[in-house]
Structure 1
Amino acid sequence: MDFGGKLVVLPTAIFVISPFDGYMSDYSTFSRAAAVVLTAITGSEYFPGGMGAFEAPKNASLAFERGPSTDVTLRWATYRDASDQCSLSRIWGGIHPPVDDLRGRFIGE
């Protein structure tokens, strides 16, 4: 990085980047497109019954790691809420920076 003509090298311990080039998040794109399509098909932005939910039971087996240490229920009022949480998971997981997420959401719209 260039700060006033001085080269500054950031240590990797505090400057974490993903192992691949930055591209728009496919999860953000597909989940937003799904939210748009489901809203169009159902005629409502809300999940049937007013609330969508996903339950991840304690110690549930995932493909690559152990499940949560306690039961977790994710809930969303709208398809867009679920899409947003899907998109944010890619940022929280360190897979995409926010700019990749926002571009994906825009394309999925």
Structure 2
Amino acid sequence: EQWLVLKDEDIARAKQRHRAALSQFLMARKVGVLVTTKSGQQRMLMARKLEEKYPDKEFTFILFETLDFGALEDFSFVEVWVNTMCPRIGYDDTNKMTKPVVNIGELGFEW
């Protein structure tokens, strides 16, 4: 059995990256929203409520069955991503993305 051991500086760095992503969302004008088409995980209605809560932002909704990180590069105009697909993406997969990502739950919506 193996254990993952995180150092204090790793945790601090992850928290700082997370705070920076939230700050970048608040300042961003053009936001990409990641939505899955998988049954039981699809949160398009919740994603659309972002437009009501943040009317000053321009949202582009991107639908995937399974997230293709490489395809995100085609959306160069997006300043920050909002993830509605799986909470893990906003934590474990941020290193696979070139732009900041926040989970929709961090913006006042319940998963």
TM-score (ref. length: structure 1): 0.33
Report which of the two has the higher share of strand. Answer: 2
TM-score (ref. length: structure 2): 0.32
Higher relative contact order structure (alpha carbons within 8 Å, sequence separation ≥ 6): 1
